[in-house]
Amino acid sequence: MSAEYAYDEDGHLWPFFVFTLALIVTVPLTFSLVNRSRDPAAAFKRIQTSYKHDQADLVDTLRKKEKRKNRKIWLIILVLAGWATMGQMLYLIKTTVAPEAKLWNPYDILNIPESATEKQIKSTYKKLSLKFHPDKAKPDPAKNLTIEDISAHYVEISKAYQALTDAEIRENYIRYGHPDGKQGYSINIALPKIIVSEGNGKYIVLLYSALFGVLLPYLVGSWWYGTLRRSKEGVLMESANRLFREYKDNIDEGGIITALSTGKEFEDLLKGDKADAGLAKLESKILAEGELSPFAGGLSVKDKEKLQNLESGPQRKALALLWAYLGRVELDDAALTRAKFEVAPIAEALNKAFTAISLAYMNTAPLLASYYTSQLLIQALPPKSSPLLQLPYVNSKVVKAVEGDSRVHTTVQKFMDMPDSKRRSLAVGKGLLTEAQYKEAVSVAKQLPYLRVAKAFFKVTGEKYIIPSSLVTLVVKGRFVPPGSEKVPEVNEIDLEDVDPAEDDLDAILGRKTKKQIGKDEKGKPILESTSDEPILPPLAAAPYLARDHSPRWHVFLTDSKQGRVAVPPFTFAQFDRPIFEADGKTPTFAMQTLKAQFQAPPQAGHYTFVMHVVCDSYVGFDTKMEVTLIVEEASKAEEMSSEEEISEPEEDSIAGIMNAAKGGAPPKPKKRKEVAKVESEEESDEESGTDEDDDDTSDTNTDTEAED
Amino acid sequence: MFSLDWWGLVLPLCYVVVLGGTFMTFSTIYRKRKAMESANLAPWFPPHLQRNIYLSLLHMEPEGGSEKAPKVPESVVRAALLRRAVEDIHRIIQIRTAKAACSSLLQRGSVGDDLWQRFQRAEKEMEEELRDVVMEANALAPNWGQTIFQSANEILANATLKERLDEIQAQTEKEKEWWEKRRTSIKTEFMKELGDDTEKVTSGDEPVLVDTNTPSATPSATPSGASKKKKGKK
């Protein structure tokens, strides 16, 4: 009667154990594999065009190659192995017969039905004892029957009989299921016996030490050094360090392109003899006389000097390739052309790191230059070139014809605002666009998402005035009006309002943190991001030259124009709350979009004039720059006004009231006593709202700016 | 007395030795590598040309036949020191502006740790350099050390301004050329129109020197006004 531990000798338990283990590992891996292989770009709409430039196939191959890189072979193998193990285990579970632990049943032993009477039991017992008594039955070697077996059988029979007749033994049988009383139980460990059997011990120790002494440190180490190797923006740390060194306060787009070429990624791409191969040819091509700019690569004289001062090597080649890419220079060399399209996405990724660096300096000019560089890299345009080149089939000759010898570039919007006949007369002609090409260009232009800002204002949720240090929301209202849209409806005044959620609207109040994603429908009801209608994604950027799929983003930030400093760092919007295009993906809806950004108001009252920038990172010339004034009132003035207007005190059962009480504030006064207690309680609530907003302050405001103004 | 089974102890002892040995090797290799890395960090600034000039002026080697080193006029030495101070100011400004950015980027994980190490080393070097310049200045002229950096700062400001002006001036030729071309083309167009009265003036009113950012300029007036109006209402 003791507990005994046994290893799984007949192998009916450990398959369960292995199956469970494999299940735990394989299912999440499978999930991630499926997630990975799903094309993330498939969720996005595309701008409909049939345009293909000469190297479109090459760009497509590079895009596909990048997608393939995301698939991991080892993951696939691991998942397959996992499922195979699970199948094998299932098979084992099914085929292995588990030994049945039989229940001790006196009726079965005596071979009588359970309904038998005492008389029947007695007679059966007598019959059986006559037959199986050790004195009567003879051992039979043929049946492998020994004397022990016979006596054991007889003991069983008498036990069964006693269990049914003797009161004490019956009690035992009822309580423990056995006439002898409590039985020992056995515990099986679901490990195959092989593991502990003699002689295998050293292999197990070896396996154990390999797992914990080699594999675990290796995995932890590779994870740790992997995180150290890449910066937060996903570029190599060394590249980020070099970019930081390249930062200058007066850097322009050309300077940023030069800075980006220092990236270590290019060294990995242009290894060995690739670093110099064809460099001379490449440079002669990009430095040839261009049609629109002094050089074909679109670089300025300063950029050319910088290029030529570099030592020849990967950096110089990368820079030359970048200029060739931006200038859309034909290279007549398969390897060079391929490299040309390969460097651009790398530069685009590096530029993100540069944006983060310039943001840390809080200077407007480099930050803007970095956003502009992103536009240029995505659209394959050199700095200070015509935005019209973003349209399909448009080349330098067409640009020349449209712009004449004007110094300022015609933006896509301006071009599309011209009457169709004028546009056509300028762009269509011999050596220019054909009729079909012109139509294609116009059709693409009419699908570009240009965010036209209708209104931008500041507000504090739930307050009428902006008091110092409160949490201000910058609300930008705008519509996507593609260039050349006809019959643009008038702006609906109601759409421009931004109604606060009702005080008892729990969802809206709790959703305050994700304010950015909250929009409002026509009735002013808040729509949360998590509601059933999914966030609207803008179509993928129309970038035929970029060997990646890129989803456009809009950055909204405030700057101080006098000091050239960023006052409120950028808020990035990649999805919207209202549809941009109708279901056909072409007709714009002109729905009013709401962009919200929260930051802390300056600590002093006054009028603050900021320049608001709305920059799209994918299209050139689609940026908005406008002045907005933030009026911060003295806290005392806001109090006066509010006491005149009698804002409602928090009710006892409202959330504000509960919060008020929870913070130890005075319980809301009954209405009758309001007159007396008004001034006092209002002071309190004001104070509290102030501290409250301090606590959940999320945006850091530039203190320099505030102090100066 | 009980007897010790020495052979039975071999295995645990081996275990301890191997474990300790592994840790020791790891830590020495790791430390050596770290030290190597920090020793091989590239300097933040390029070689200090002005300082080198100044030092070589101070310690002129005697030339060829003559025994005495050529005498460097005092004014030249002073000018060299001032140049060195100007370069120092330039560098110290760079360090000052980069410091906040660098530390915030490091915290966010946008730049690496070794950049920060290089930065701090450069900072320390600059401190030493400034102290050295002050001492040198005091040695050349009493109390000059207190004012040398003020003058250097002004020299630097002046130099940057000049550079900027030159950059702008350099564009004049091109602008002039463009304007001449533009004027003649406008002139010929007007002449054409004058000759042909019936034709309407179409291209003449094309904006010539208007700022490009019209899409931004147009909405700017309305929204700020509108928002003001809204606030006034309340």
In this predicted model, what pLDDT tens digit does every residue of A323-382 receive, in sequence order?
999 888 888 888 888 888 889 999 999 999 999 999 999 899 999 999 999 999 999 888
| B224·A408 Cβ contact <8 A | no
Does B234 sit within 8 Å of A631, measured CB to CB? no
Residue A185's pLDDT is 67
B107 and chain A: CB distance < 8 Å anywhere?
no
B182/A357 touch (CB, cutoff 8 Å), yes or no? no
Shortest Cα–Cα distance, B140 to chain A (Å) = 35
How many alpha carbons fall within 13 Å on the CB side of residue A91? 6
The residues with which A565 forms a beta bridge, in sequence order, are A363, A560
Residue A255's alpha-carbon distances to A700, B95, B185, in angstroms, are 29, 20, 34
Predicted confidence (pLDDT) at residue A193 exceeds the cutoff of 80: no
Report whether A481 contacts B218 (CB < 8 A).
no
Instruction: Decide if A382 contacts A323 (C-beta within 8 A).
Output: yes
Q: Which of A409, A455, A626 sits opposite B216 (nearest CB)?
A: A626
Q: Which of A373, A254, A379, A270 is nearest to A316 (CA)?
A: A270
Q: Does B182 contact A405 at a Cβ distance shorter than 8 Å?
A: yes
Contact A240 B215 (CB under 8 A): no
The number of beta carbons lying within 10 Å of the beta carbon of residue A512 is 15
Residue A290 is predicted with a pLDDT of: 77
Highest mean pLDDT among A154-163, A508-517, A604-613: A604-613
Average pLDDT in the A703-708 region? Answer: 38
Are A65 and A338 in contact by the 8 Å Cβ rule? The answer is: no
What average pLDDT score do residues A510-518 get?
45
Q: B179 to chain A: which residues are within 8 Å by CB? A: none
Closest CA to A596 of A561, A568, A622, A637: A568
Q: Quick one: which of A565, A561, A708 has its CA closest to A628? A: A561
For an interface test with B, the pick among A238, A241, A455, A475 (most B C-beta atoms closer than 10 Å) comes out as A241
The whole-number pLDDT of residue B211 equals 45
- The count of residues in chain A is 709
Interface contact flag, A237 B210, Cβ < 8 Å: no
Q: Given CB atoms, is A232 within the 8 Å cutoff of chain B?
A: yes
* Cβ(A463)–Cβ(A689) below 8 Å: yes
Whether residue A625 and residue B213 make contact (CB cut-off 8 A), yes or no, is yes
CA distances from B184 to B174, B190, B192 (A): 16, 10, 12
For chain B, say whether A409 makes contact (Cβ under 8 Å).
Answer: yes
Token pair 């320390």 is found at B124
**Is the per-residue pLDDT at A704 higher than 70?**
no
Q: What is the rounded CA–CA span in Å between residue A567 and residue A559?
A: 5
Chain A interface includes B111 (CB < 8 A): yes
The pair phi, psi for residue A406, each rounded to 5°, is: -70, 150
Whether A8 and chain B come into contact, CB under 8 Å, resolves to no
Measured in angstroms, the CA of A240 and the nearest CA of chain B are apart by: 6
CB–CB of B121/A248 below 8 Å?
no
**Distance from the A149 Cα atom to the nearest Cα atom in chain B, whole angstroms:** 47
- Asked if B224's CB is within 8 angstroms of A629's CB, the reply is yes
Establish how many alpha carbons lie within 13 A of residue A700's alpha carbon, considering only the half-sphere containing its beta carbon.
8
pTM of the model: 0.73
Report pLDDT for A636.
78
Q: Where are the beta strands (DSSP E) in A481-605?
A: 519-520, 526-527, 554-560, 565-573, 592-600
The whole-number pLDDT of residue B162 equals: 95
Q: What is the structure's pLDDT at A454?
A: 87
Model confidence at A81, in pLDDT bands (50, 70, 90)?
very high
Confidence band of A669 (pLDDT split at 50, 70, 90): very low
Q: Residue A638 — very low, low, confident or very high, per pLDDT cuts 50/70/90?
A: low
CA distance A366 to chain B (A): 13
- What is the band of A465 on the pLDDT scale with cuts at 50, 70, 90? confident
Nearest to A472 by CA among A630, A657, A592: A630
Determine contact, residues A622/A448, Cβ cutoff 8 Å.
yes
> What ipTM was reported for this prediction?
0.70
Q: Does B223 touch chain A (CB under 8 A)?
A: yes
Inter-chain residue contact A244 with B234, CB threshold 8 Å: no
Nearest to A360 among B101, B211, B230 (CB): B101
Q: Tell if the CB–CB gap between A405 and B185 is shorter than 8 Å.
A: yes
Contact B87, B50 (CB under 8 A): yes
Asked if A403 reaches chain B (Cβ–Cβ under 8 Å), the answer is no
Q: Kindly report the number of other CB atoms within 10 A of residue B203's CB atom.
A: 12
Phi, psi of A91 (to 5 degrees): -60, -45
pLDDT classification of A79: cutoffs 50, 70, 90: very high
Q: Would you state the pLDDT for residue A688? A: 39
Q: What sign for the dihedral angle of Cα B128, B131, B133, B135?
A: negative
